[in-house]
């Protein structure tokens, strides 16, 4: 990425130019706002990736950098409680966002939900999303270069989980220092691991489906079917299985259906889906 390209799509913003450079400018071009600080370790991981993607998307969005130490009023106005925090502004409104240093593959997925690279992007060849294996290799190299950066271990744990290596992900998660063990991403990963652990030695998806069809009150089969569907990218169908248990056998296995639902809600990105199923769960419980 050349300095010229970076300067074209990345700029600093403070209180005095935020309205013009972000809110007004977003009426024509989406603006990704990165709240960061010099002392923030994860910011040093996320920032270069965002700048790289801004160049690759070639003007489909622009990246506004807000140093929270220099723009405390602006950070307060947006309720920034942790950094890095990223918000996407379109048509003068915040339309999406996230907190923490996501891996590059997830950053691409986030951006592609809202914008697409313009013709003449920095790379002529289409850039494929980073695979979990590529992410693991990249993060391991970063850890080797900076072994004292504990937040990289959390990044590695998340990449290992995406690659399907739950045991290695759990080992990295267990080794995190106390301040990172309560990070939102760590809590989410812990719930994913709990769900994945339930499937050790479990029957296959077709076998579980057959068992539920043969006996709608086979709660053990329905529970495992819900976990399989949830982890195999059919979240709504998985949640439906847990709700079915909650409706007919709320106290089965010490209220496991409710526990499954709460764990599932903690792992899902789809806020609308989670909200809908939270309401359905509440209607059965109260």
Q: Cβ–Cβ contacts within 10 Å for residue 109, how many?
A: 13
The continuous run of DSSP H or E covering 63 comes out as strand 62-67
Distances (CA, A) of 24 to 11, 21, 58, 250: 15, 6, 20, 52
Active site residues: 40, 43
Query: How far is Cα 173 from Cα 160, in angstroms, rounded to an integer?
Result: 10
Query: How far is Cα 162 from Cα 284, in angstroms, rounded to an integer?
Result: 33
Q: How would you classify residue 120: left for phi > 0, otherwise alpha for psi between -120 and 50, otherwise beta?
A: left
Maximum CA extent, the chain: 67
């Amino acid at each position: 990425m050349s300095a010229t390209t970076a300067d074209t799509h990345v700029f600093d913003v403070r209180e005095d130019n935020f309205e013009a450079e972000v809110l007004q400018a977003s009426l024509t071009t989406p603006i990704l706002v990165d709240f960061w600080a010099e002392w923030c370790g994860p910011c040093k991981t996320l920032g270069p990736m965002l700048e790289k993607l801004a160049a690759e998307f070639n003007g489909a969005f622009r990246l506004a950098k807000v140093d929270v130490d220099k723009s405390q009023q602006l950070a307060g106005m947006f309720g920034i409680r942790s950094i890095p925090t990223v918000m996407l502004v379109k048509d003068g409104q915040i339309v999406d966002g996230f907190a923490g240093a996501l891996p590059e593959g997830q950053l691409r997925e986030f951006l592609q939900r809202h914008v697409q690279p313009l013709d003449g992007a920095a790379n002529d060849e289409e850039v494929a999303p980073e695979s979990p294996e590529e992410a693991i290799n990249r993060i391991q190299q970063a850890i080797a270069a900076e072994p004292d950066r504990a937040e990289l271990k959390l990044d590695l744990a998340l990449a290992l989980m995406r690659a399907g290596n739950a045991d290695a992900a759990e080992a990295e998660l267990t080794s995190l220092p106390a301040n990172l063990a309560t990070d939102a991403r760590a809590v989410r990963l812990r719930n994913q691991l709990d769900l994945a652990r339930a499937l050790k030695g479990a029957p296959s998806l077709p076998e579980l489906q057959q068992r539920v069809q043969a006996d709608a009150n086979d709660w053990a089969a329905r529970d495992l079917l819900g976990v399989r569907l949830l982890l195999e990218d059919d979240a709504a169908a998985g949640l439906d299985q847990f709700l079915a248990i909650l409706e007919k056998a709320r106290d089965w296995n010490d209220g496991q259906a409710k526990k499954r639902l709460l764990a599932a809600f903690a792992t899902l990105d789809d806020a609308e889906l989670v909200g809908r199923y939270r309401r359905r769960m509440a209607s059965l419980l109260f």
